[in-house]
Chain A
Amino acid sequence: MCGATEGGLSLDGVNVAKEAVIQGQVLRGTEPVGNAYVRLLDRTGEFTAEVPTSATGHFRFFASDGEWTLRTLAPKAEPVDNKVVAAVGSVAEVIVSI
């Protein structure tokens, strides 16, 4: 896992006090999935944003206070939904297993 940051993505340069960060890693077993797509859906299921995972399977969103759903799509896997609560001033870490 060259380049991966233990315990999640580095928050260097992010003003956590002002952001509602949702971030994490997509794993297949213990292997990071570097070609997944993570979609951020709001509490009504409306699409808000989407990011491809990094080579180490990591992703990050700057959301706002509230409940969100992460929908993860990856090759040779069914879509996976994970509920997450975000709050300004905190970092919600999510491991997505596909």
Chain B
Amino acid sequence: MTRENSLVSAQWVEDHLDDANVVLVEVDEDTSSYAKGHIRGAIKLDWTTDLQDQVRRDFVSKAQFEALLSERGVANDDTVVLYGGNNNWFAAYAYWYFKLYGHDDVKLLDGGRKKWELDSRELTDELPTRATTSYSAQEQDLSIRAFRDETVEAIGVKNLVDVRSPDEFAGRLMAPAHLPQEQAQRAGHIPTAANVPWSKAANDDGTFRSDDELKQIYSEAGVDWSKDTIAYCRIGERSSHTWFVLKELLGEQNVKNYDGSWTEYGSLVGVPVALGDEPGEA
């Protein structure tokens, strides 16, 4: 993938608002944002209720994903354009999720909701109506999803990119400064992980930095471009943002998102944990 076929500008979206084959989808951390105003025609996906199994800690099944998209009126040949607040954290998570279930044409709105608002573009509270479809998903593409065992095996072998803030990486905080400090049993990071906060990849307005700037940021942080990469954060959404950068913008081949992330790893019994600002030893 490249920037040209995975990312669209706010102007592109505005120019395609009436295109029947383009489905705008808003996904926010604050799931009430959509009700306060959204881009005309956009449907909403709620990452907590629509995209997560309500009993186990896992994603919805292929059949559930098919039912969800069919009910919301998304067809297999639609161009899905995702956007959201918080610099597209959860929109990037949904992008990765659509790719996981094999949707062909998915794009991210560069800068997300913030860029749209800063441009003074129109938001509406009108709810769109879309005819239902018969959506058919693929089996999960596990070449982009990492689980805990392969993450442990990747220590000292693959690139591990921890995209949380420096304070979370070092073990001084358990969660971002504006969110509840929750969940994992231990603070710290996976030994040998490079700390490249997701925010390094974005400009102040939420748009992505240029490919050259991005390449330099990860190179300087110690990412070895000859190795496979696993990105992680706290619950797998910020690392989707970085997965998008490495896989879709920079075109790296073997990049996985570890959606269990620190809330799983930091609660595992017997695995190594590093504290402090340095990556640590394998």
Binding site for B on A (CB under 8 A): 35, 37, 39-40, 46-52, 61-64, 71, 73-76, 79
Contacts and interface: CB of A to CB of B under 8 A. Distances in A.
- 4 closest Cβ contacts across the A-B interface? A47-B199, A49-B178, A75-B120, A49-B177
B86 to A, nearest CB: 7
Interface of B: 85-87, 114, 117-120, 165-167, 176-178, 197, 199, 204-205
Dominant secondary structure of chain A at its interface with chain B: strand
Given A37-B118, A50-B178, A75-B119, 8 more contacts: A37-B114, A39-B204, A40-B177, A48-B167, A49-B178, A52-B114, A62-B177, A62-B178
A87 B85 CA distance: 29
Contacts, number: 45
Contact of A73 (B86, B118, B120, B199): B118
Contacts of B86: 50
B176 A46 contact: no
Q: Which of B87, B114, B204 has the most CB of A within 10 A?
A: B204
Contacts of A75: 117-120
Given A37-B114, A73-B204, A46 B166 contact: yes
Contacts of B118: 37, 73-75
A49 B205 contact: no
Nearest to B30: A52
29 contacts: A35-B117, A37-B114, A37-B117, A37-B118, A39-B204, A40-B177, A40-B178, A46-B165, A46-B166, A46-B197, A47-B197, A47-B199, A48-B165, A48-B177, A49-B177, A50-B87, A52-B85, A61-B177, A61-B178, A62-B178, A63-B177, A71-B204, A73-B114, A73-B118, A73-B205, A74-B118, A75-B117, A75-B120, A79-B204
